[in-house]
Amino acid sequence: MWRRLEVGDYDAVMSLRQAVLSSLPDPDFYVREDDEHMFVRGHLDVFGESVGYFDGDDLVAYLALTTDLVSSGEDIEFAACAPTLNDVVFAAAMVHPEYRGRSLHRAGIRRHLAIAQALGAHRGMAQISARNHRSLRSYFSEGFRCTRAVDYPDGRRRLLLERDLVGGAPAALIDDVALVDLNDFDDVRGELTDTREGHRLLPVGSTALMVVGTARKRTTVTAKLPGTETEWMSAAS
């Protein structure tokens, strides 16, 4: 059962985070917060909110959504995306090792998308390690696109993803396609521009190629029939 998490769920969230972080096959998938207590507490009712999935009394999956980027410091983390007061950040998503493979991550993302849209947010953003292919696939599948590749002063190298929460689903067709090896971070950064984004992953052995290209713009055609008026969406050639 999914529900919004409250302050009383703090210990359960901390326990789940410990179980997940200690089981990661690569520590770069998720680097522990400088202040784990404040991060978790803040996403319960201070500068964000969290949702969790329970199996009986056990919290087995949770996702944190940042709604106040300034108070949380996420405005600095996402400076490359020029954040505004109308943005939210998909700050954390964790599933207990024994419950992976049940699409809980994607279900949680969809719940937070609905919450963000209900709050009137215009854009959702996420920060993901290029090595974390599972997480990248989940966000790509829910309409996020990779727009930036950023080096941070502490040595982290992260892909920044964005999703328009107002304009509907992104275009399915893309032009000027390139396949970029996620192991080559500099190449990934060079391929991403103001018009070119990462759209999906193609698995290749232990690594993956990111499909980068320019989304083909959609055009609206109004077809008038007797007594009706219907809008058709089509991809521009």
Residues 166, 172, 178: CA angle, nearest 5 degrees: 115
Q: Which of 152, 92, 158, 90 is nearest to 126 (CA)?
A: 90
| 57-113 pLDDT per residue, tens | 999 999 999 999 999 999 999 999 999 999 999 999 999 999 999 999 999 999 999
> Which own/partner contact pairs does 194-197 have at CB distance under 8 Å and 24+ positions apart?
197/145, 197/146, 197/147
DSSP designation for 77: H
Question: How sure is the predictor about 219, in pLDDT bands with cuts at 50, 70 and 90?
Answer: low
pLDDT of 50 above 70? yes
| 193-207 pLDDT per residue, tens | 999 999 999 999 888
What does the block give as tokens for 144?
Answer: 């996020």
Mean pLDDT of the chain: 91
Instruction: Write down the pTM of the prediction.
Output: 0.88
Task: Place domain 2-169 in its CATH homologous superfamily.
Answer: Gcn5-related N-acetyltransferase (GNAT) (3.40.630.30)
203 burial class (0-12, 13-18, 19+ CB within 10 angstroms)? exposed
Of 224 and 200, more confident: 200
pLDDT of 172 above 80? no
What does the block give as tokens for 213?
Answer: 């290209």
| 105-147 pLDDT per residue, tens | 999 999 999 999 999 999 999 999 999 999 999 999 999 999 9
Q: Where are the domains of the chain?
A: 2-169, 171-237
Sheet containing 2-4: give its strands across.
2-4, 48-55, 58-66, 87-95, 123-129, 157-164, 145-151, 196-204, 207-215, 174-181
Q: Give the chain's largest Cα–Cα span.
A: 64
5 with 44: CB under 8 angstroms?
Answer: yes
